[in-house]
Amino acid sequence: MVELAVKLKQLRVRSGKSLQDVADAVGASKAHIWDLERGASKNPSLALLKSLADYYKTGIAELVGENPSADEEEQKLVALYRNLGDLDPADLETIALLAERLKASRSKT
């Protein structure tokens, strides 16, 4: 799954547009678009996402790296992954260890 920041920068570079071009087109500041591309702004409004998706002629789901035609199990995993971004590194390490232990215990049975 490509995160929003990476996807936005890829789309902008591929289209040959400047940060200012994109900002003007979607009604945002150049600094805000830059923050989105760097991952510094992690919670854009739905209206801004829609404007960006329209500008790049793609869907919001594609922008945020979700596949609306994915099965329900995959969608749950994407939602779980998205929520992990707010955790600190120690918590992420704990979750990773827990996942490894669960996988190991299942492979023994």
Model confidence, pTM: 0.61
φ, ψ for residue 88, nearest 5 deg: -80, 165
The domain limits of the chain are 4-63, 72-108
Tokens of 82: 């998205």
Per-residue pLDDT in tens (0 to 9) along the chain, 109 residues: 358 898 999 999 999 999 999 999 999 999 999 999 998 987 899 999 999 999 999 888 888 876 666 666 666 766 677 677 778 888 888 988 998 899 888 877 6
User: 40-73: buried (b, 16+ CB within 10 Å) or exposed (e) per residue?
Assistant: ebeebeeebbebbbebbeeeeeebbebeeeeeee
Q: Which CATH architecture has domain 4-63?
A: Orthogonal Bundle (1.10)
Tokens of 46: 């739905």
